[in-house]
Structure 1
Amino acid sequence: MEFGVSTFVTDEGIGPAPLGRALEERGFASLFLAEHTHIPVKRESPWPGGGELPRFYYRTLDPFVALAAAATVTGRLRVGTGIALIVQRDPIMLAKQVASLDRISGGRAVLGVGGGWNREEMRNHGTDPRTRMRLLRERVLAVKELWTKDEAEFHGEFVDFDPVFSYPKPVQDPHPPVLVGGSGATTFDRVVEFGDGWMPIYGRGTGPLAAQIAELRERAGREVPVTVFAVPPKSEAIAELEDAGVGEVLFNLPTEPEDDTLRTLDRFTGLL
């Protein structure tokens, strides 16, 4: 089992470069960053975590810029999105961003994807919440075409472009892994069709996790890697996930100033 952290990097907490260095120095394998492009002032969508939306949701740095900063000061740390809201991102630009991150990092980029929950936010990007999962599918498939084909084209319901040259290509062969977030009724359909792994949030629809993983792998006909996001730093949680067949645990790292963050990471290190 490998260990990383999932967190929100903001203008009020530790910067991405010192965070990346601190993680690698302590033996962590990965850093996954959340994103929100903005938070509408008038919002009806309830936060899935319950209660008031935490302040750090409002202040996230762009994940690809932050991950590039972390990648340039590390040599082994995998750098990924947890999750990228690609229903709010242009797929041609996204393909270039992730491929550029993979180049900068020497083949350490990971793309975690999901449909998101904040309907007002996605509407501001011109995305209809009712069709976002169909849009998510097409954008992932289009990005993979752009990563892997010299003359890439895609023709779908939402994404449509004739042959294009799109560079750079990723370092990883055939491309950076795409981890599909979520634990809804149709999540496994997406993992099987266009995902390279599954990344659910700990405790949100992951009760019978061992049975879920077994079902997913049987449906896919392959050993689908599972990364669990936002895991509490407790030994019993780690043991539970290891027994279920999880390959990577991402501790939920609070968004705090640098000194506080380093002390938290030191506590986490005892669980590795």
Structure 2
Amino acid sequence: MQIGITMFATDYAIPPQELAVEAEQRGYESLWFPEHSHIPTSRRSPWPGGPDLPKWYYDTYDPFLALSAAAVVTKTIRLGTGVCLVVQRDPIYCAKEVATLDRLSDGRFLFGIGGGWNAEEMEDHGTVFATRFKLMRERIEAMKEIWARSKPKYAGDLVKFDEMMQWPKPVQKPHPPIIVGGGFPHGARRAIAYSDGWMPIGGRGGDTLAMLPPFRQLLKEAGRPESEVPITIFGVGMDGDALKRARDAGVSRVVFGVPPEARDKVLPLLDKGAALMRDA
């Protein structure tokens, strides 16, 4: 089982490039940064994590820029968006950003995606909350066409463009792994339908490990082996027993969450997680 790290990269936290170096030195498999372009002050949409939205949600860096900084100072650690809000991004530009980062990292990018929860944030980008998941699928399908073809075109209900050309193409073929974030059953069904992995948030929506047997049944019904849609449990605490349970349940990757703090607070947590990795 692989172990990753996620943190909201901000101007008051350990810089993303330093976090990447420290995580790679300790043997972590992957580093993940989340995304919010902004948070509208109306705050109509409830945060799924609790009553009070943490400040770092509106402080966080752009993930592609933060991961690019991490890419140039590392060699082995994989670099992921956890998650990229593709419903708020133009798919043509996003396809170029993904391919560029995959090139700059020599094929280490993991494309974690999600539909998001903040309706007001999406509205500022011209995205309709009710149809966001249809839009997410079409934008991913459109990006796959761009990455795979020399003269791509796409015609969906919400995404359309005529034949065009765009380079670079990603190092990873046919494209970097697309890993859908979300709970069970809806996020799981989306992952099975058009992605290369499923990424529920640990502890959100109930016992995550209890979701795995019905998820595997959905895979079976869809005719997809689990090796094609491996499971990443995202943003969990550093608990040795929980780590062993996840390993025994057949989870492919666990991503520990660390707070957006300075080096003196974050590095001991990286050490703690590394020790758990060795004992698991």
Compute the TM-score of the two structures, normalised by the length of structure 2: 0.94
Tell me, yes or no, if structure 1 residue 211 matches structure 2 residue 224.
no
Give the letter aligned to residue 250 of structure 2: G
Give the letter aligned to residue 221 of structure 2: R
Q: CA deviation at 1:215?
A: 2.0
1:201 is aligned to 201
Q: Residue deviations 1:225-246, cap 9 Å, x none?
A: 1111011100121122112210
Tell me, yes or no, if structure 1 residue 171 matches structure 2 residue 176.
no
1:71-82 matches, within 5 Å, as 71-82=71-82
Alpha-carbon separation, structure 1, partners of 2:264 and 2:188: 40
Give the letter aligned to residue 45 of structure 2: S
Q: CA deviation at 1:173?
A: 1.1
Alpha-carbon separation, structure 2, partners of 1:53 and 1:254: 14
2:126 is aligned to 126
Q: Tell me which moved more, 262-271 or 122-131.
A: 262-271
1:270 is aligned to 275
Alpha-carbon separation, structure 1, partners of 2:244 and 2:274: 16
* 1:202 alignment partner, SS class: coil
Name stretches of at least 5 consecutive residues in structure 1 with no aligned partner.
none
2:191 is aligned to 191
* 1:190 alignment partner, SS class: helix
Provide runs of 4+ in structure 1 moved above 4 Å.
none
1:32 is aligned to 32
Q: CA deviation at 1:219?
A: 3.1
> What percent identity do the matched residue pairs reach?
48
Give the letter aligned to residue 276 of structure 2: L
1:105 is aligned to 105
Query: What RMSD, in angstroms, separates the aligned Cα atoms of the two structures?
Result: 1.1
Tell me, yes or no, if structure 1 residue 222 matches structure 2 residue 225.
yes
CA contact (8 A) 1:2 1:248 kept: yes
1:83 is aligned to 83
User: In structure 2, do the counterparts of structure 1 residues 22 and 158 end up closer, same or farther at CA, with 3 Å as the change threshold?
Assistant: same
Q: Residue deviations 1:157-180, cap 9 Å, x none?
A: 110001110110000011100000
User: In structure 2, do the counterparts of structure 1 residues 190 and 210 end up closer, same or farther at CA, with 3 Å as the change threshold?
Assistant: closer
Q: CA deviation at 1:216?
A: 3.8
Alpha-carbon separation, structure 2, partners of 1:34 and 1:18: 17
CA contact (8 A) 2:189 2:218 kept: no
Tell me, yes or no, if structure 1 residue 234 matches structure 2 residue 236.
no
Alpha-carbon separation, structure 2, partners of 1:216 and 1:69: 38
Name stretches of at least 5 consecutive residues in structure 2 with no aligned partner.
none
Q: Tell me which moved more, 9-18 or 185-194.
A: 185-194
Alpha-carbon separation, structure 1, partners of 2:115 and 2:184: 11
Q: Residue deviations 1:115-163, cap 9 Å, x none?
A: 1001110110000101101101100111111111111110011100011
CA contact (8 A) 1:213 1:245 kept: no
Q: CA deviation at 1:11?
A: 1.0
Count of residue pairs brought into register by the alignment = 272
Q: Residue deviations 1:27-76, cap 9 Å, x none?
A: 00000111100011111111101121001111000000000100111100
* 2:112 alignment partner, SS class: strand
Alpha-carbon separation, structure 2, partners of 1:88 and 1:69: 22
Compute the TM-score of the two structures, normalised by the length of structure 1: 0.97
Alpha-carbon separation, structure 2, partners of 1:184 and 1:90: 27
Alpha-carbon separation, structure 2, partners of 1:214 and 1:77: 28
Give the letter aligned to residue 189 of structure 2: D
Give the letter aligned to residue 255 of structure 1: P
1:12-161 matches, within 5 Å, as 12-161=12-161
Structure 2 counterpart of 1:243, from 244, 248, 262: 248
Alpha-carbon separation, structure 2, partners of 1:146 and 1:189: 24
Give the letter aligned to residue 121 of structure 2: E
Give the letter aligned to residue 109 of structure 1: F
